[in-house]
Each structure stands twice: as structure tokens, then as C-alpha cells.
Amino acid sequence: MAVIEQRPDLAVSARRVPIRPPVAPDEAAARRTLREQVAKLESELGALFCTAFPRTGFDWQVPSRGGPRVLSLVELEELRDQLADRLEHNRRVLGDRTYVEELNRRRIEEMVLEPERHKWMVIRNEDIGEPGCKSWHVRPRFGLLGMLLNWWRVRISSGCPLAGGRGGPPRPLPH
Amino acid sequence: MIETPEIEEGWVAHDLAAEFPELRILHTAVEARSGRSPEAVRRRLRNLADRYTGGKAVTLRQQPVPWAYRVFFRQVGIDPDERRTPPEEIALERMRAGGFPSRNLLDDAILIATVETSVPLVAFDDEKLEGPLGLRLSEPGERLGGDGRPLSSRQVVIADAERSVGVLFADLAEGRGVHPRTRRIRIASIQVKGVPDVSVEEALWIIAEVLQGDAGAGAAPAGNAP
């Protein structure tokens, strides 16, 4: 004992540290925060979905986790991160798409103003992010003559064909 | 004579309520039998289908109540784009089929109530239930309905006092659903955070009204559809 008192470094290591019982951290608050973040991200994804419609080619799915069940903290974090990644990716895709659509809109205006400079060019509704089958097509007026004389115009299609076609054969008249 | 449905609030297990404090199950019993829907119900379905447009189906996920169920699906580990919420499933089916074809009185009543309120509903044979309905987490090794398929650990289930009778927003236990001989139907609706009380109660009111034969109450007069 006397030796320990003379060497202060040993005195520290020999001191007894009370052992505390293990305490499980309360994850409830963290899970609650994560669930709120998931709700916010879902809201933003929903708004983006409506903005992106009717454009196709987006992936909205985030893998399920075998629910309905109470997700652990790690699972909620993964879900939050995947939703955030999906949102960011789709925002970028939509941004790129709308940039091209804007260029196409401008090109339609140019086609209408100077059709002879955009010969045979076709721009469809889907190229400008709109639903339907409308298209702008630069074609020569009066066919071959227009091509020879450089008479060009923009022809706008009349929309989608009817779902039912032109109808069946006429019914026989009742006798 | 239409009886006023007595709406009861079911129990929610403590561990589940701690995670989802706003989660509730409300239920009511209706003395009715399913079967072929009367003309008034079919007319109401047609009117509802006419009111449903593509634009409405697309923006459904931005409306408060359908959005609340989408969020809850996410929070309990379901991808709502893979297994759709009931209001979205109905909207998609409307777009695919071009209308709401009548199936039977109970299914039609559930569809009408869900379209009107966006609240999902589930029906049980009341005589097959033991005690009050509630929500809890499945126990290790538990089987659906006591002797059905095994449930994964800590799944959210609808249960009576004895056993689980269905997985939340998924399948029901064998023999607990409504069949042609059912005389008393127990309808349950699930309320999650963001869904107002009035929507859930209205859903139960509508379904009781349709099942008890006053389906025309909420429908437009014949020949006057929008």
C-alpha cells in the first residue's frame, strides 16, 4: 500500500470505478424524427410525381421492407436515405427533361416563323412534355412543287385517333 | 328504417401506440347480408365513376387523406407504389376498367365509402370474432388466425381478444371474412396520423347506409348524372 502511495500512476489504476448497469438508449425520439422526415420526403415525391405527369421513364419505387411492421432505427434511416436519393435523382431527370422540352418549344416557334429552315422536322407533344398525339411537322406546300420552289409550311396534326376506330359495318335496315 | 351505426373505438397495444400515437381502429356492426347489389347502389357506382377523372387519379397522392395513408405505408415498410393504398388502388382500377363494375353489395359499399372518404375499410363476419377488435404487433411464432400462415415478427395485425384476424392492409385470416351466410358484418376502419375523425366516422356511416339499403341517399337522381 505504501508503494502505491509513492507512485501516483499506479494509484490511479488501482482506484475502483463503480460499474454501472447497461442502459439501452431510447430510440423512440430518433425513430419519431425519422418518420417525420419520411413523411416530408413522401410529400415532396408526391408533388414531383404530379409535376412530372404525363412524362414517363421515372422510377418512383423504393423497396418495401416486408411491412406492415414497426421498422427499426436502421431500417428507417435506410428508408429515409433511399427516399432522398430517389427524390434527388427524379428531380435531376425532370430538370434535364424540361430543359430539352423548353428547347423544343422554342424550336416550334422557329419552325412556324421560318419553316424553310427546318425542312421535314417533326416535334410531337411528348417532346414538349404534354399529353396527347399532337405534332408539328414541316412539310412542302403542294408536294413536289413546294419542294422545288422552297414553299414550306408547318402542318399541325389533328390529335389522337379515336379508340374505337371508324366504327363497324353499318347495320342492315329493318324490314 | 336505417339504424344509426354505433361506432366503437378498438384497442391498440401499448408498444404499437408508443410508435404510432395517432393510430386508431374504429368499428361498427351492421345487420346485413351481402349479395347482388340493388339498382340504387349500381347507379351510385356509375355516378361515382363519372366523377372520377384521370386528373383526379393522378393528383390523389397530394390530397391530405390519401397522402396520410401513403406516408403510413412507408413508415411501416410498405412501398405504396408496389402495394397501393386502397384509395389509389380504386383510382387505378377505375382508369383500367373505365368504371366501377358492381361485384356484390359489401364490396360495392366498401368501394363507395372509400371513394367518398379515401379511408380504407375491412369487413369481418361478426359472429367469428371473439371480443373487441384491436391492433397489435404479432408475437414470435404466431400464425394468422391461430392456425393460418406464419406471421413475421412484429407485424401489425388486426386482432380480437383471442387471435389475429388479419394483417393490416393485407389478407384476412381464413374464415374470418364475410361469406354468403354472414348475417352480421363488422366493419373496421383504420385511422392514421393526418386523417380527421370525421372522415373515418363518415366512412363507417356510408357503408352502414349502403348495406342497410339507403344507397340512394348520397347518389344523384337517376338520369341526372353529371
Distance from CA of A76 to the nearest CA of B (A): 8
pLDDT at A102: 95
The beta-carbon contacts of B93-100 under 8 Å, at least 24 apart in sequence, are: B94/B49, B94/B52, B94/B57, B95/B54, B95/B57, B98/B49, B99/B45, B99/B46, B99/B49, B100/B45, B100/B46, B100/B48, B100/B49
Q: Nearest CB to B78: which of A43, A53, A68?
A: A68
CB pairs under 8 A between A and B: 84
**Cβ of A99 under 8 Å from any chain B Cβ?**
no
Higher pLDDT: B109 or A150? It is B109
CB atoms within 10 A of CB B9: 14
**Cβ of A55 under 8 Å from any chain B Cβ?**
no
Chain B interface test: which of A53, A69, A74 (most B C-beta within 10 Å): A69
Q: In chain A, what residues touch B73 (CB-CB under 8 Å)? A: 67-68
Q: Nearest CB to A61: which of B76, B77, B79?
A: B79
Q: pLDDT tens for residues B93-102?
A: 998 888 999 9
**Cβ of A154 under 8 Å from any chain B Cβ?**
no
Q: Do A68 and B74 touch (CB under 8 A)?
A: no
pLDDT at A131: 84
pLDDT at A171: 64
How far is C-alpha B29 from the chain's CA centre? Answer: 13
Q: pLDDT tens for residues B135-185?
A: 999 999 999 998 899 998 889 999 999 999 999 999 999 989 998 889 999
Q: pLDDT tens for residues B174-215?
A: 989 998 889 999 999 999 999 999 999 999 999 999 998 865
pLDDT at B139: 92
Helix (H) or strand (E) holding B43: helix B39-51
Distance from CA of B179 to the nearest CA of A (A): 26
- Mean pLDDT for B118-141 is 94
Residues A101, A123 contacting (CB under 8 angstroms):
no
**B positions 78-117 inside 8 Å of A (CB):** 78-79, 81-83
Q: Do A42 and B137 touch (CB under 8 A)?
A: no
Residues 6 or more apart whose Cβ sits within 8 Å of residue B88: B60, B61, B66, B70, B80
Q: Do B77 and A53 touch (CB under 8 A)?
A: no
pLDDT at B193: 95
DSSP string, A105-171: HHHHHHHHH-GGGSTT-EEEGGGGT-SS--EEEEEETTTHHHHHHT-EEEEE---PPPTTTT--PPP
Rounded to whole angstroms, the Cα distance separating B129 from A170 reads 59
pLDDT at B218: 47
Three-state SS for B83-122 is: CCCHHHHHHHHHHHHCCCCCCCHHHHHHHHHHHHHCCCEE
Q: Do B79 and A64 touch (CB under 8 A)?
A: yes
CB atoms within 10 A of CB A112: 14
Q: In chain B, what residues touch A71 (CB-CB under 8 Å)? A: 75-77
SS3 B226: coil
Q: Do B62 and A60 touch (CB under 8 A)?
A: no
pLDDT at B210: 94
Q: What ipTM was reported for this prediction?
A: 0.85
For residue A50, what is the nearest residue in chain B, using CA coordinates?
B59
pLDDT at A167: 58
pLDDT at B224: 35
Q: Nearest CB to B71: which of A39, A68, A71?
A: A39
For residue A63, what is the nearest residue in chain B, using CA coordinates?
B79
pLDDT tens, per residue, chain A with 175 residues: 444 555 555 555 556 767 777 776 778 889 999 999 999 999 999 999 999 988 888 988 898 888 899 999 999 999 999 999 999 999 999 999 999 999 999 999 999 999 999 999 999 998 998 888 889 999 999 888 888 888 999 999 877 777 665 556 556 655 5
Q: Nearest CB to A69: which of B18, B59, B152?
A: B152
Is the entire prediction scored with pTM above 0.90? Answer: no
Q: Do B19 and A70 touch (CB under 8 A)?
A: yes
**Cβ of B56 under 8 Å from any chain A Cβ?**
no
Rounded to whole angstroms, the Cα distance separating A96 from A55 reads 12
Number of H helices, E strands in chain A: 5, 3
- Which among A75, A90, A91 is positioned nearest to A38, based on CA atoms? A75
Domains annotated on chain B, with CATH: 8-214 (3.50.40.10)
| B64 has pLDDT over 90 | yes
Q: In chain A, what residues touch B76 (CB-CB under 8 Å)? A: 67-71
| B29 has pLDDT over 50 | yes
Rounded to whole angstroms, the Cα distance separating A83 from B77 reads 12
Q: Do B81 and A47 touch (CB under 8 A)?
A: no
For residue B193, what is the nearest residue in chain A, using CA coordinates?
A39
Rounded to whole angstroms, the Cα distance separating B205 from B47 reads 19
pLDDT at A45: 94
DSSP at A175: -
